[in-house]
Amino acid sequence: MSNNMPRPGRSLQLLPGPTPVPERITAAMSRDIIDHRGPVFQELGLKVLREIKPVFGTSKPVLIFASSGTGAWEAAIVNTLSPGDRVLTVDGGHFASMWTGMARDFGLVPDVIPTDWRTGPDPDKIAAHLEQDKAHAIKAVFVVHNETSTGVRCSIAKIREAIDAVGHPALLMVDAVSSLAAMDYRHDEWGVDVTVSGSQKGMMMPPGLAFTAVSERALAASETAKMPRYYWSWAKMQAQNKEGYFPFTPATGLIYGLAESIAMLNEEGFENVYARHERLAEAVRRAVRTWGLEVWCRDPEAYSPAVTTVGMPEGFDAVEFRRLVYDRFDVSLAMGLSKLSGKVFRIGHLGFVNDVAILGGLTAIERALAVAKVPHNTGGVAAAMDYLG
């Protein structure tokens, strides 16, 4: 079928973001745009600012910016750090590498722990690096909870324990962009200082909102940090949030959608949400293994409930394969990023997805493997179906 021809039925998006948006959320977002300085919006603002806290597992403030998750990372840097500060990062994938690059652009000095992009951050290596920093020059540790490019998640609790074990005062900053509302997250209990996330992943919304949970230590750091900030100022945001408002024009329609998203997560129950993601992820991995393809994440304990990255056999281009899956079956898979471009494709099982969506996508992939003459075993869909059944 030509890309220009109308396609019957609905396109299937198996991406780790943007994820499918439920009709309940799109309906909520279609309401009239109201005065964002008026009493009706004030009630909505107070509601979402209060109800989003349990999503992060925090009783502390959660700030909402009109931006992508990258904006929240920029806000984290400019509110807590000063030019010339050292930070510790772990090069575990495309997005971890982006945060390292952002740190350099802001005049920070990153110490980078390398990985093979197939395993998660090693708490022991983080502890060993911090232990050598006797002068406590390292002011923050940047960690990606769920690396969307590789399908690898890590244990934030163990990383916090490692930092505490060597008595280092560095702030712990966590990217939870593709993990929030898809897997267990406990900002307060795990001693995280800054957690950033976005609306277009587990929150089941369109792109456009960025979230930041902050600890008392992070707020204290923001009072002495010397980076310039204006739009990204936590102080400006907090001052307005106390009254349910925002210092600059908020994404009003998305705020309506956020209220509905939180309601849906509470109705399903967070434990059920996490279990659904784990279950669908295991079904996908069983299909991949049955086909004889490679689950990119090497450590079963680090398998992501949000996305599975799949290695293509030598001699086959993942970019062409993704195009085939879309052109023939109207199913979107995610591309390999940075040095994984052409080597992997990614299957998202994140957000508003269910058994039927996953099985439909796996069927398209299995058929496309045959069409592309990629060496594989049949029966992947059946293996996933047996597991789900």
Domain boundaries, the chain: 12-20+269-388, 23-266
**Topology alike, domains 12-20+269-388 and 23-266:** no
Residue 4 has a pLDDT of 63
Q: What is the mean pLDDT of residues 53-66?
A: 98
The CA–CA distances, whole Å, from 342 to 16, 113, 152, 281, 316 equal: 17, 25, 19, 22, 8
Q: Which CATH number is 12-20+269-388's, of 3.30.470.20, 2.30.38.10, 3.40.50.11540, 3.90.1150.10? A: 3.90.1150.10
Mean pLDDT of 82-105: 97
Task: Please give the average per-residue pLDDT across 81-87, as a whole number.
Answer: 98
DSSP state string for 40-93 = HHHHHHHHHHHHTHHHHT-SS-EEEEES-HHHHHHHHHHHH--TT-EEEEEE-S
Q: What is the mean pLDDT of residues 54-83?
A: 97
372, pLDDT greater than 60: yes
* Mean pLDDT value of segment 176-204: 98
Closest CA to 72 of 201, 260, 164, 182: 201
Residue 282 backbone dihedrals phi, psi, to 5 degrees = -65, -35
Q: Which fold has domain 23-266?
A: Aspartate Aminotransferase; domain 2 (3.40.640)
Residue that has been written with the tokens 């299937």 in this structure:
12
pTM for the model stands at 0.95
On the question of pLDDT at 298 being above 80, the answer is yes
Mean pLDDT confidence for 118-133: 97
Predicted pLDDT at 363: 98
Tokens 């934030």 belong to residue? 156
pLDDT digits (tens, 9 = 90+) for 265-294: 999 999 999 999 999 999 999 999 999 999
Residue 1: pLDDT over 60: no
> What does pLDDT average to over the chain?
97
pLDDT of residue 7: 75
DSSP-derived secondary structure for 198-249: ETTSTT---S-EEEEEE-HHHHHHHTT--S--STT-HHHHHHHHTTT--SS-
Using the predicted structure, report yes or no on whether residue 389 has a pLDDT greater than 60.
yes
- Rounded to an integer, the average pLDDT of 240-253 is 97
- Whether 8 shows a pLDDT value over 90: the answer reads no
pLDDT value of position 354: 97
| pLDDT of residue 346 exceeding 90 | yes
Per-residue pLDDT at 10: 83
142's CB contacts (< 8 A; 6+ apart) are 87, 88, 89, 90, 96, 99, 100, 103, 173, 175
User: How far, CA to CA in Å, does 48 sit from each of 51, 59, 189, 282, 313?
Assistant: 5, 13, 22, 33, 46
**Above pLDDT 70, what percent of the chain?**
99
Scored b (16 or more CB within 10 A) or e, 195-215 reads bbbbbbbbbbbbebbbbbbbb
Gap between the Cα atoms of 138 and 88, Å rounded: 7
Q: What's the CA gap between 217 and 38, in Å, rounded?
A: 33
